[in-house]
Every structure is written in C-alpha cells, then in structure tokens.
Amino acid sequence: MKRIIFLSLTVIAVSCGTNESKKSQETKDVNSEYQLVWQDEFTEDGKPDSTKWDFERGFIRNKEKQYYTDRNVFVNDGNLVIRAQKDTIKNARFNSNGKIWQEKEEFASYSAGSVTTAGKVAWKYGRIEIKAKLPKGRGLWPAIWMLGENRKEVGWPETGEIDIMEHVGFNSDSIFGTVHTKAYNHMNGTEQGKSIFIEDPYDSYHVYAVEWTPEKIDFLLDGTVYNSFKNEYKTTAEWPFDQKFHLKINIAIGGMWGGRKGIDDSVFPQEMLVDYVRIYQKAEK
C-alpha cells in the first residue's frame, strides 16, 4: 500500500530543458491556502470506484481508431491501469448506411480505456494533480483533461476544455498543456497551448497538474509552471472557466493528432499507470 503524506506537500521540479524560455517558468508547491477536497489513491484492486468514475464506451471523438471498453480499465497494485491493445471489437453502432464516422466500421482494430468523473463530481477552480506513467509508441495519444459541465447545453468548444496533459507517441520527449474555448481552439488554429520537455515519461512517474483560479490557469509538470493562460475579462468565448469542470483520463490510438505519423502495431499492448488523482481547493472564507 502506498504511503500517503498530505501535510507540507512539496512537489520537486525536474531538471529538464524545454522549448520555452526557462525564464518563463517557476516552481510551485501546493501552498497552504489549499486543502485536499477529493482524491483517489487506487488502493483496492478491481474496477475503479463507481462512486467516483464512469467509463466511456465505443467510438467517441477525433476519428480515433480505438473502441473504448470498461474491460480496458482496472485497478492493480496501487495504480489505475488504462490499457491500449490490438483487438477485434464489434461496433455496437455499426450501420452499413451510416452517415457519421462512428457508424461506418463494423469492427474496431484496437481497444482502449477512458474514465470520467462526469455525472459523479466536478469542480470549479483549484489544483488538479495527477501522478502517472505514460504509454509508449507511435500512434498513442494519452490525455488527462477536463470539460465544462454545460457541454450538453452549449456544445464544444463553447463549454471550454482544459488539457492538463497530452502526449503523442511520435513526439516522445514532450508533453502539452492547452486550453480550448470558442475564441481559442484547434479547429481555428487559435488554441492556447505550450509544451515542455519531459525526461523518461514511460518508465518514471511524473506529476501533471493545473492550478486554476478566476484569474488564470497555470499548467505544471513536476511543480514547474510551463504555461499560463490568463483571464482577459471579456466574454465566455475567451474564458468559459467560471463553472464546474469534470475530469477525463484516457488513451487514444490514432486520430486527428495522435495518428498523424501512423500507428506502430509492434508496441501493443501499452498501459498508462495512474498512481493518484488529488483535487485541492482554497478554503472558503
């Protein structure tokens, strides 16, 4: 069982380079204004805690090649395990006359896992922190990210998206932290994101986090801030982040970004190991 220490919690920055100026970075601890309000330490083997997590299933987004199933997600030896593998999965939405891409394939060639707190719990502001080890291989696209709770009412990108960590296997030494809004999104080429060099993401655990306030969203790798998105105080088109957001953790295979340089089938199976998820918020005054 993992030893868990919450008092005087300090995150130590890795010594690494980045494609952004080091002068723009700073190292931040979980400061004394924050208190732990939600966590999952994944100490019980089996399926994830159903009071905290739900599963995504099927073909979902971005023309990705994996079919999400709940059997690709489990807890083992103190980790949430999300597995990606070569597979043959019947598509429950298959329609020989299908109009949308999710209906056109009778069988998927890959399966993977995606968990979400949607419908369970969501947060407005705070420090969202995940310690994880990433899967390896060209074509893989692991992500830790958040969507606004009003997504069904207003759609994407109006709801807002916070990409705490994205990694693509063809760019093995970088991770990305990005926001998407109606004004700033990848469909228009205006997304607000930066990357940072990461050393040994596949064999070592790293701490991926955002610190989100009404004024800005800071993106952190092992305590180092490498991207900061500031509230311009205009409209929700620029800043839709004054509402609750839920969390998602998944491995995608292929798709609009992850598949840009193809998929290396020799790497499968691969796993993302999540040691913990911890949510901190400032105490109400």
Catalytic residues: 161, 166
Angle at 73 between CA 71 and CA 75, to 5 degrees: 120
Place of tokens 């905290």: 52
CA–CA distance, 248 with 146 (Å, rounded to integer): 6
CA–CA distance, 215 with 32 (Å, rounded to integer): 19
Q: What is the dihedral of CA 48, 13, 218, 158, to 10 degrees?
A: -40
Q: How many CB atoms sit inside 10 A of residue 187's CB?
A: 9
Q: Is the previous residue joined to 214 through a cis bond, with omega within 30 degrees of 0?
A: no
Q: Is the previous residue joined to 269 through a cis bond, with omega within 30 degrees of 0?
A: yes
Torsion over CA: 42, 160, 138, 64 (sign):
positive
Dmax (CA) for the chain in angstroms is 59
Angle at 179 between CA 21 and CA 37, to 5 degrees: 100
CA–CA distance, 153 with 218 (Å, rounded to integer): 27
